[in-house]
Structure 1
Amino acid sequence: MSSDTDPNPYLPPASGSSPPGLPGGFPGQPRELRIKDPRAWGWAAISFISLNCLTLTLRMVEVGHPGWLIFIALSILTTLLGAMVTYLVWIYRVASNTKIINPHSSTSPGWAVGSHFVPVANWVLPAMMVKEIADGTFRPRPPKYTGYVIAVWWVSLMLHNIAMTYQSDSAFIPVLGWAAGIGAAWLIIRISARQWELRESGLPVAPRPVMLATGGPRPVSATRLPQPTRPEGAPLHRPGPPSPNRPTPAAPEKEV
């Protein structure tokens, strides 16, 4: 016989106690995952990108005062650093959210940031990371024009960097900068807004189960019973009360 101190297996556990393991109550239960809001970092990145494009445009204005050149150079450097930092923080956050939205996505938050610092590979990998993030965010598939926007944004940015390195006084630098900035702003706004729409208090590690139709019995009210067929021209038979002259069938005799 069990003593009074033995726990009753038929009673629920106390509200204050929880089994050891992860903070889900049971060992091995996944930790609650939350989608973080990427919009603040996205708007900060858009602001710095716009200011950088503006300073590159003002650089084309010829002013003989040396203080103007120093001001423009410092403005370009400051806005460029601000755009890089805020964009990398944003890309890390949206990559982390993508792993929650689509656990099967191959996008790694650390690799999404680190791909920008790999020599030679950083000419292609960052655009591929953004494409994977867009594919994982806009499930089941992103809009058709998303790939074209990513291509225009990245090609304009690469051409802009090449022109800044080899021909810094080219008039195409502001044009390429604004093209890349507008493409980046469109992607940041769309991806951030879509991920914030998908926020939930707790998302499982795997996709949510889908209720499938079962082949079990259905209620009588939902079941169609077969109707008897009547030959054409036959009188409609309606059951009536039993006739008093109709003999009643005899009950079967019981064997002794």
Structure 2
Amino acid sequence: MSSVVLRNPNGLSYAVVTLLAGNIAFDALLALIDVRGLLADDPFSFDAAVFGPVDLNVAYGMAFTLFTATGIVFIVWFHRLRRNAGVWAPDVPSRGPGWAVGGWFVPIANLWIPRGIAAEIWRASRPNPHGADGARELTLLNGWWTVWVTGTVVDRIATALFGDADTVSAWTTATWWSLAGYLLNIAAAVLAILVVRRLTSMQHAKATGMIPAAQ
């Protein structure tokens, strides 16, 4: 057993869940704005600067700030779980704890490295780290990752399409992609909340049953 002290992830998990809920609210607002634009008689005369009492420039800025804060806190939580996983089963993770942070920033490879680390955290956090995966055991984790990656790709496509949109048809196509991206992001955030709660619960149960977790 590693000499590294277990760290309690509960507080961080509450922060992550709260921030993810905030992202869901902003994505829902921005999705409604896309719907309003699609229903406009003339998209190019559609005033995208104001949505009722909401100043969209402020809304987009707040959404970006919230997304950034969520990413930072999520990665800190993720790294803490990876460190705990190394205490229980140091031979299960194939990458060091630093990859729980750096893996998110490696171009292209960040589409699969964090998911692999999450799966290893999952295995190390269950009662039998070295047992075979149960049927559909990783369904929640895989579902979250698939939706998140898909949403990320769709967002990038929408951004590129908006950059080239110089006709009503092109603008409408870009907006549909944008709307799809927001809906996928909402679904990914909901699944992420479930993953955070499940992994945190698994580690809490294992820690309280084996070694007192550090506060």
TM range (shorter): 0.7 to 0.9
Alpha-carbon contact 1:56-1:173 (below 8 Å) kept: no
Matched, 1:117 2:88: no
What is the Cα deviation at residue 175 of structure 1?
Answer: 2.2
Task: Say which SS state the counterpart of residue 109 (structure 1) adopts.
Answer: coil
How many Å separate the matches in 2 of 1:58 and 1:161?
A: 18
Matches within 5 A, 1:233-252: none
CA distance in 1, matches of 2:189, 2:212: 33
Q: Please name the residue that 1:35 is paired with.
A: 6
Distance in 2 separating the partners of 1:82 and 1:109: 21
Which aligned pairs between 1:217-236 and structure 2 lie closer than 5 A?
none
Report how far residue 145 of structure 1 moved.
3.2
Mapped pair 1:151 → 2:142: yes
TM-score, normalization by structure 1: 0.61
Structure 2: runs of 5 or more not aligned = 37-46, 160-174
> Residues 17-28 of structure 1: matches in 2 within 5 Å?
none
Tell me, yes or no, if the aligned pair for 2:79 and 2:97 is still in contact at 8 Å.
yes
Asked if 1:98 corresponds to 2:94, the answer is no
Shift in Å, 1:143:
5.2
Matches within 5 A, 1:120-199: 120-140=108-128, 141=131, 144-168=135-159, 169=175, 170-199=178-207
Deviations 1:157-176 (A, max 9, x none): 11111121121533222321
1:199-235 deviations in whole A, cap 9, x for unaligned? 2149xxxxxxxxxxxxxxxxxxxxxxxxxxxxxxxxx
For structure 1, the 5+ residue unaligned runs are 1-29, 203-256
> Does residue 85 of structure 1 match 2:75?
no
Which digits, 9 at most, give the CA deviation of each residue in 1:163-199, with x for residues without a partner? 2112153322232112211221111111111212222
Which protein, 1 or 2, shows the higher relative CO under an 8 Å CA cutoff with sep ≥ 6? 2
Q: From the superposition, tell whether residues 44 and 177 of structure 1 become closer, same or farther in structure 2 (CA, over 3 Å).
A: same
Q: Per-residue CA shift, 1:11-42, capped at 9, x if unaligned?
A: xxxxxxxxxxxxxxxxxxx9854321101111
The separation in 2 between residues aligned to 1:33 and 1:162, in whole angstroms, is: 38
Q: Which residue of 2 aligns with 1:249?
A: none
Aligned residue pairs, count:
173
2 CA distance for matches of 1:162 and 1:103?
34
CA shift in 2, pair 1:32/1:99, >3 Å: closer
The structure 1 residue matched to 2:55, chosen from 43, 60, 68, is: 68
Aligned counterparts of 1:195 and 1:147: Cα–Cα separation in 2: 16
TM-score (norm 2): 0.72
Contact kept, 8 Å, 1:35 with 1:196, in 2: the verdict is no
User: Deviation per CA, 1:80-102, whole angstroms, max 9, x where unpaired?
Assistant: 01110011100110000001111
> Identity, % of aligned pairs?
20
The structure with the largest helix share of the pair is: 2
Contact 1:35 1:195 in 2 (8 A): no
The separation in 2 between residues aligned to 1:32 and 1:123, in whole angstroms, is 32
Q: Let me know the Cα RMSD of the aligned residues.
A: 2.2
Contact 2:27 2:186 in 1 (8 A): no
